Structure 1
Amino acid sequence: MSQPIPITPELVGEAYAALASGDPATVRQYWSQDLVWLVPGNHALAGTYRGLEAFLDFMRKTALLSNNSFRMDPITVLTNDEYSADVTHNLGFRAKTPGDATSPYSKLDIDVIHLLRWRDGKVVEGRGAVFGDGTTRFDQFWSQVAADGTRTDQ
């Protein structure tokens, strides 16, 4: 019987680095084909993504909507035998934001916690948690915005 793969902060960092690499073979080393990912909020990207391809499509959309500026800077990682929780500082700038650069829709600058469940060294489930006024800013940033600054979708 094989030993379980220990979930460590280093493993979590490697999984995110694999995701950032964009290389499908590297991503599959850390992210399960049957991944389920929950994006919180009230915006077009919110919802549950089932399967690695659906999750990667979501990631491509975030890159497109942020003109590849979206990033998650790690703050700390907690782990046990089945879960990891990572705190990140998320920063991004919305592509083609109407109005001036001071619009609440143009910049995302929040702290987030991602709760990941692991099996056999791969992420099988994930969800994000955004707190306080960060939830409003998260929704505003990812929502479609009309030229007059109003949200055009939920």
Structure 2
Amino acid sequence: MAPTKELVEAAYQALATGDRAEVEKYWAEDMRWLVPGNHQLAGWWEGLDGFFGFMEQVGKLSGGSFVMTRSAILLGDEWSADVSHNVGTRVTAKDGSTSPYDRLEIDVVHLLRWRDDKVIEGRGAIFGDGTTQFNQFWSQLATDATRVGA
């Protein structure tokens, strides 16, 4: 069965709860997620446990500030694509100061593949200078809170 707009929204709302039982209603145990870029979170996250690990890191690194707001959802036979506005903040220096890389505000497309009303694979796509912003935002920090690998 093809995904619906309501199903896509319900899947993202389940993620927002952080409740594993709720998430399992919409995200398959054997799912995989590809994070684009060249930074510490980039690459494939395998299985629901891996995906939860990814989301935990996003929350930790952004101090819980990372938010995705969907503005459009496109649907196909076993696919959905959503356009999301992603916003987050990282305070990195011990004195509370920030760098230009500590604020993220970009538009992203998530391509989701569905089976039996559950997401089995997701991929993110970022365009233009959003890719650079994303890489810098998630770049690693040295012990003195300076950025490395940006």
TM category (shorter chain) comes to over 0.9
1:117 matches 2:116: no
Partner of 1:43: 39
Cα root mean square deviation, aligned: 1.5
C-alpha distance after superposition, 1:44-76 (max 9, x if no partner): 100101100001100000000000000001110
Is 1:128 the counterpart of 2:115? The answer is: no
- Using a 3 Å threshold, how does the CA distance of structure 1 residues 71 and 148 change in structure 2: closer, same or farther? closer
Q: Which residue in 1 is equivalent to 2:70? A: 74
Q: Any conservation in 1 of the 2:29–2:48 contact (CA below 8 Å)? A: yes
Aligned residues: 147
* Structure 2: tracts of 5 or more residues without a match: none
What TM-score do the two structures reach when normalised by structure 2? 0.92
Unaligned runs of 5+ in 1: none
Using the TM superposition, give the Cα deviation of residue 104 of structure 1 relative to its aligned residue in structure 2, in angstroms: 2.4
Q: Deviations over 1:10-44 (max 9, x none)?
A: 11010000011011110000000000110000001
TM-score by length of structure 1 reads 0.90
1:97 aligns with 2:118: no
Task: Give the Cα separation in 1 of the matches to 2:141 and 2:40.
Answer: 11
User: Partner of 2:51 in structure 1?
Assistant: 55
Which amino acid is 1:64 matched to? Answer: K
